[in-house]
Structures are given as C-alpha cells and as structure tokens.
Chains A and B, each alone.
Chain A
C-alpha cells in the first residue's frame, strides 16, 4: 500500500518563527511535492523535487524553501512564518516514468500562525 506520512497533523506557531514540515514516503518514489490548500483557492503547488537534492519551484514558492537530502524525505521550510501562511499543507509523491503524474497524498498538516 502507498504510504505518505507527515510529521504533524496540527501545528501552531508564532509570527517570525522558522517552521519545518516533514514528509516521508515508503514507496521508493522519485518525485515529491508540497501543496497548500485554502478554501476557495484549491490546491496550489509550492515546490516539487524529482530527485535527491533537486528541486523545482511551483506556482507559489515565495516565503518557502525545501530540502531533499534522502529519497524518502522531503521537508518544507517556512523561513519566517507569517499569518498568511496559515493553511493546510499537503505532501504528495509519485513514481518516475510514465506514471509521474499519479500522485499520492499524505494526511496533511494544519498549520496556524498566530
């Protein structure tokens, strides 16, 4: 079974804090993704990675960075959290090759920035 896990289900941080969101997949997938989901705006891609140490900007990368030191782990970093980064954060992964678009999601992290 496909398994994507995220380090926290709920997280509360203060403005200006550095925040780390972790994602781990156990399917040996090449690709990993970070999205945020907001009411009325749907899912928006922040960053993705197609290989270890490789990353690509998505549609809304401002205020975020990522790290992928190992194939199974992809971290999202909020360098200085702001209230407009309060959101549901979703991690996903996919195989390489012809199924690269078939993405499997984790349970999500609900982040609140006060």
Chain B
C-alpha cells in the first residue's frame, strides 16, 4: 500500500529562520511527487512537481528536492505570509490516484 508521511506535524519559526519540511514516501512506481500550500478554509494551491531523484525546483523562498525515499521543502528566510499548511502527495501507478500526507502546519512569527 502506498504511504506518505510528513514531519514535523507543526513547525514554528521566527521570521528569517530557515528550515526544512520532510515528506517520506513508499510508492510503487513513483509517477510524481507534489507539494501544495493550503491556507485555512481554502483549497490546496499547487507549488511543485518532482519526477526523478536529484530533481530540484525553486519558487521565491521555497525549494523542493527529491531522493528515492523522501522529499524536502526548504524554506529560506521565511516571512509571516509563508504561514500555511504544506501538503505533500505522491502519485503511483494507479491512474489519477494521489496519496496525500497529513501536512505540516507552518507558523512564522514576525
């Protein structure tokens, strides 16, 4: 059975304090690792897709990386507006079915 585990469950940072979120996955035949940002009461907002180990993607203060077993979302010099829940999802060989992690709730204090 495909599994995705995110850690930590919650992370509190001071503004400017860089850190990383972890997403460990067990998926047969990975067909993409996806990161989303979700604000309270809203739908997930697409951030990144990673398809192969060693791949990296960047957007503003966020950088996503992928190995054969896990993905990291690195946040450099975060700002309070980066506060949100970050979701990781993995796609396997079952068409259209993503396995989601439980999310990491990030809070950035000014």
Contact = CB atoms under 8 A, between A and B. Distances in A.
A105 B44 contact: yes
B90 to A, nearest CB: 9
B84 interface: no
A94 B34 contact: no
Contact of B49 (A88, A102, A106): A102
B contacts with A: majority SS: loop
B96 A42 contact: no
A75 interface: no
Given A42-B102, A48-B96, A101-B91, A90 B31 contact: no
Q: Range of interface residues on chain A?
A: 20 to 34
Nearest to A109: B43
B95 A108 contact: no
B45 A105 contact: yes
A48 B95 CA distance: 10
Contacts of A105: 36, 43-46
A36 to B, nearest CB: 12
B46 A101 contact: no
A58 interface: yes
Contacts of B103: 42
A110 B60 CA distance: 31
Contacts of B36: 105
Given A43-B100, A107-B42, A110-B41, A102 B95 contact: no
A53 B104 CA distance: 37
Nearest to B49: A102
Interface of B: 31-32, 34, 36, 41-46, 49, 87, 89, 91, 95-98, 100-103
Given A42-B100, A99-B49, A107-B42, 9 more contacts: A2-B46, A42-B101, A48-B97, A50-B95, A100-B31, A100-B96, A101-B34, A101-B96, A103-B46
Sorted from nearest, which 5 A-B pairs have the closest CB atoms? A101-B91, A105-B43, A101-B32, A108-B43, A43-B100
